[in-house]
Amino acid sequence: MCGIFGIVADRESDIGDILVEAGKRLAYRGYDSVGSAVVGADGAIDLRKDVGKIDAVSEALGMRRMRGLRGIAQLRWATFGAPSRANAQPHLDCDGDLVGAHNGNVVNHVMLRRRFVEAGHTVRGDNDGESCVHAVEAHLDAGADMVEAIRRAYADLDGDYAFVITGRGENVLYAIKKGSGLVAGIGDGFTCVSSDLPSLLPLTRDIVRLQDGEIVVLRPDGVEVRRVDTGAVVAREVEAYAGAMDAAEKGGYAHFMLKEIHEQPKVAAELLHLLRDSADVHRVVDIMRSADRLYFVGCGTSYHACLLGAYYWNQIAGRLAIPMLPGQFIEQASASLDPRAAVLFVSQSGETKDVLSALNVARDKAVRLLGMCNVIGSTLMHVTEAYLPLACGYEISVPATKTFMNQALLFHYLARAVAGKDVAALDAVPDLLERAIAETEAPAEAVARRLAGWDSLYYLGYGLTEAIALEGALKLKEITYAHCEGMFSSEFKHGPLSAVFDGFPVVFFTAPGDEAMMTNHVHEVTCRGGHAIAVAEDHAEFRQNVGAYLAVPRSDRMLFPLLATVPAQLVAYHMSLARGLDPDFPRNLSKTLTVD
């Protein structure tokens, strides 16, 4: 969701090429329009932007050929203002002396925009990024210097965002961070700044992490970090980033989603390896064990991992954990929180605004803050007391796959660790996942072809498999645009059963040992003409009751959800293809949701 990048160099070059490449590395976040602004040695600002995909827009507007000393690139995912050229970022101020772009949300934008219009500003669009530029301009007009104008603008602009701006004058770029990811990099003869770390890594490994409430002043020979509130310079170490950078390439697969599904055995093995030597696991486990109340909080797929985590926590560790969406946590739990509680925030990106809002509420109550997330350097990682990485590398495809797998595996690991059970039992997971992929890929494709014409279906699970039914249904909705509802199977007869008619598809995620009970739920559907599909271990008798069967390898019952996730992902992927859609970049969605 929106990505910003800025660079300032000591000499003029084809900086447009660098901006487009950086934009491409941010594209996985999701966007609908693209823009680049370059400032030349003569101070002229060249701004090119439009609605569309980065390859098409950059080609049509010749963005790669833009030359200059410094530049800003932005990929926008529409919230304030429809996707249009005027609303695409970066934005100019009234006279075209400043150019800037933001990532995130300025929540008082509508009021600010009205105020700027009434004050006679030339406001060209409806986008909140434009308010950021006019806010700085207004303070410059009132006599402030650039740093002071940005500090005052920061006070005007409510919300969570990161913002980068430059002007015609000095060869300097400025950026501020307020609740949205921002990291700076230092190279040979240039410095740069971006919404996320991986987009900087091809340019430099010397990075400067920024915190909320900081301004970074970027010059070709270095960066200076200042506090927004006091203006004081902050001493900040330059970190030599040693982590791996996975190439954002499909590696022979037709889509990132398929590649990422196939990477699951490998990333599961890497996570288990990492956990074995991790002191952080012990810290997290100790905090979870000593908490008198424990919450698991996440959105979307990460929330489904929380649901499964709570099941593991109950059944393996014999403890209660309460899985909640961030909004539920704020509305239903926050007033009763006290410092004896602990909250584990779960997020692939570590930047999801809903999650960070809940985290701020929990922080105000002084509860123990824990994190589980994939993106190193993310806000979540910085603000939690103890943090566990998912170790999945870059997940490009908008539908989360391998990160869900490692969230589920990590929850299982933590539950076993708290219960004092042998975690080595999980070492079988990578091979089992390998087999699940090999054994379900073709049958899942056949099921997907059969489902492709249906615009509504149900995914049912019971207890251990409820979270997988919900996650499978989310995956299907997200990339096929069909309606698919995931639910607890015993609830189906309490209403949704009325939807069943001849051929209506219902998928039953059936854990080993639940076949007899699930047979009842299947018959309630099939006796009314419904088409039942089972995801289960091979079971000759159960198989007789359903029209299609996706068999996963035999394993420990508690591992079944991990294995059953694989065919759920593959059915969604192949149904998306059968409908002629792009599973990697579904319409209207974004990988990282940094807005309310």
Which residue type does 494 have?
H
Among 74, 89, 302, 576, binds ligand M6R (CB under 6 A): 302
Task: Establish whether 591 is a catalytic residue.
Answer: yes
Site membership for ligand M6R, residue 180 (CB under 6 A): no
Q: Which is nearer to ligand M6R, 210 or 470 (CB)?
A: 470
Q: Which residue has the tokens 């500090």?
A: 151
Long-range contacts of 224-229 (CB under 8 A, 24+ apart): 226/147, 228/150, 228/151, 228/154, 228/176, 228/178, 229/151
Q: Is 593 in the site for ligand M6R (CB under 6 A)?
A: yes
The distance of closest approach from Cβ of residue 470 to ligand M6R in the complex, given in angstroms and rounded to an integer, is 11
Does 391 participate in binding ligand M6R (rule CB under 6 A)? no
- Whether residue 2 lies in the annotated active site: yes
Give CA–CA dist 380/373, Å, rounded: 7
CB 404, min distance to ligand M6R, A:
8
Give the contact letters, 341-360, x = binds to ligand M6R (CB under 6 A), - = no: ------xxx--x--x-----
Q: Does 150 bind ligand M6R (CB under 6 A)?
A: no
Q: Does 61 bind ligand M6R (CB under 6 A)?
A: no
Tokens of 427: 């070492």
- Of 218, 225, 301, whose CA–CA distance to 6 is shortest? 218
Q: Name the catalytic one among 2, 192, 299, 392.
A: 2
The answer to the question of residue 308 lying near ligand M6R (CB under 6 A) is: no
* Sole binder of ligand M6R in the list 39, 359, 398, 518 (CB under 6 A): 398
Residue 247 has φ and ψ, to the nearest 5°, of: -70, 135
Contact 52, 22 (CB under 8 A): no
- How far is Cα of residue 443 from the mean position of the Cα atoms in its chain? 30
Task: Look at residues 457, 491, 474 and name the one whose alpha carbon lies nearest to residue 568.
Answer: 474
Give the whole-angstrom CA distance, residue 63 versus residue 181.
25
Distance CA 7, CA 38 (A): 10
Q: Which of 273, 539, 238, 572 is nearest to 397 (CA)?
A: 572
Q: Considering the complex, state which of residue 186 and residue 593 has its C-beta at the smaller distance from ligand M6R.
A: 593
Least Cβ distance, residue 39 to ligand M6R (angstroms)? 34
Residue choice 167, 265, 300, 567 for contact with ligand M6R (CB under 6 A): 300
Residues, the chain? 596
**Cα–Cα dist 473/300, whole Å:** 11
Residue 392 touching ligand M6R (CB under 6 A): no
Which position's Cβ is nearest ligand M6R? 300
Quick one: 74 or 378, whose CB is closer to ligand M6R? 378
Q: Are 377 and 210 in contact (CB under 8 A)?
A: no
One-letter amino acid identity for 317? Answer: A
Among 26, 172, 299, 361, the residue binding ligand M6R under the rule CB under 6 A is 299
Does 565 interact with ligand M6R (rule: CB under 6 A)? Answer: no
Q: How many residues bind ligand M6R (CB under 6 A)?
A: 16
**Beta carbon nearer to ligand M6R, 193 or 568:** 568
Task: Please say which residue, 3 or 300, places its beta carbon nearer to ligand M6R.
Answer: 300
Structure-token pair, residue 280: 């952080």
Query: By C-alpha distance, which of 439, 471, 446, 461 is closest to 547?
Result: 446
- Region for residue 222 given its phi and psi (left: phi exceeds 0; alpha: psi -120 to 50; beta: otherwise): left
| One of 101, 123, 317, 400 touching ligand M6R (CB under 6 A) | 400
Which residue is catalytic, options 49, 353, 475, 591? Answer: 591
Minimum CB–partner distance for residue 230 and ligand M6R (Å): 32
Nearer Cβ to ligand M6R, position 2 or 112? 2
Binding status of residue 399 toward ligand M6R by CB under 6 A:
yes
41 phi, psi to nearest 5 deg: -60, -25
> Rule CB under 6 A: which residues touch ligand M6R?
299-302, 347-349, 352, 355, 398-400, 474, 478, 592-593
Catalytic residue numbers, as ranges: 2, 591
